[in-house]
C-alpha cells in the first residue's frame, strides 16, 4: 500500500486543481484574513458553504470570535495577494484596498466574488477544522479566477 505520509498526501492531492480564497473578518475594528484554498459550496437550501482553517492559524480563531466571515474568491491577477495573506504575523492588509460587506467584513478590491457568512457550525477535521458558513449575501465581478495546481498558481485565460 502506498504511504500516506504528509509529503505524499500533499503531492498527490496537489493534482486536484482549485480556486483560491482569502477569508476575512473585522476584529475589534481591524481587518484580519488568511489565504484558504479549501473552500466549497455545501448546500443551496439552506445556503451553506464550507471552509477548512488549519488548527495552526492565528487569524481564524480571531475571526471565528466575531461569528462572521467573508470568503473572497481571488481573480487570476491576485497571486501576490494570496502569498501576502499566507504569511503569519505580518501586516497582511498593507497596501490592500477593501470595502465592507453587509456584515462589515472586508471585501478585497479586485476579487472575482465574495460570500458574506455567519458562522453556522465548526467540526473536528484532524489538523484542520470543518467550518460551515451560513450565506447572508454574495456577489461576483465576473473576472477570470486564480487557480492553484500542484503548488503553483495558474491563470485560466491561458487555457481558454
Ligand X SMILES: Cc1cc2nc3c(=O)[nH]c(=O)nc-3n(C[C@H](O)[C@H](O)[C@H](O)COP(=O)(O)O)c2cc1C
Cβ(39)–Cβ(19) below 8 Å: yes
20 binds ligand X (CB under 6 A): yes
Interactions with ligand X, residue window 61-90 (CB under 6 A): 82, 85-86, 88
Q: Which of 14, 42, 50, 54 binds ligand X (CB under 6 A)?
A: 54
**Is residue 132 within a helix (H) or strand (E), and if so which, with residue range?**
strand 128-140
* CA 39 – CA 68 distance, rounded (Å): 16
Element of type H or E holding 149: strand 146-149
24 binds ligand X (CB under 6 A): no
Taking CB under 6 A as the criterion, the residue among 8, 11, 43, 58 binding ligand X is 58
Written as nine digits, the cell of 149 is 495546481
Helix (H, G, I), strand (E, B) or coil at 25: strand
- Binder of ligand X out of 38, 66, 103, 122 (CB under 6 A): 38
Site string for ligand X, 85-104 (x = CB under 6 A): xx-x----------------
Residue from 14, 27, 37, 50 touching ligand X (CB under 6 A): that is 37
CB nearer ligand X, residue 34 or residue 69? 34
Alpha carbon separation from 62 to 3, 16, 24, 133 (Å, rounded): 35, 30, 10, 16
Residues at the interface with ligand X (CB under 6 A): 20, 34-38, 52-54, 57-60, 82, 85-86, 88, 148
Amino acid at each position: 500500500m502506498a504511504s500516506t505520509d504528509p509529503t505524499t498526501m500533499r503531492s498527490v492531492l496537489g493534482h486536484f486543481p482549485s480556486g483560491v480564497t482569502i477569508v476575512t473578518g473585522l476584529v475589534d475594528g481591524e481587518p484580519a484574513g488568511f489565504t484558504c484554498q479549501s473552500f466549497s459550496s455545501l448546500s443551496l437550501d439552506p445556503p451553506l458553504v464550507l471552509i477548512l482553517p488549519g488548527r495552526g492559524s492565528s487569524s481564524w480563531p480571531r475571526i471565528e470570535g466575531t461569528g462572521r466571515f467573508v470568503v473572497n474568491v481571488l481573480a487570476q491577477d491576485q497571486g501576490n495577494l494570496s502569498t501576502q495573506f499566507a504569511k503569519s504575523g505580518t501586516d497582511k492588509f498593507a497596501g490592500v484596498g477593501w470595502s465592507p460587506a453587509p456584515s462589515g467584513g472586508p471585501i478585497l478590491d479586485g476579487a472575482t466574488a465574495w460570500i458574506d457568512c455567519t458562522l453556522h457550525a465548526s467540526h473536528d477535521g484532524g489538523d484542520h477544522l470543518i467550518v460551515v458558513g451560513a450565506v447572508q449575501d454574495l456577489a461576483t465581478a465576473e473576472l477570470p479566477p486564480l487557480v492553484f495546481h500542484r503548488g503553483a498558481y495558474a491563470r485560466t485565460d491561458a487555457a481558454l
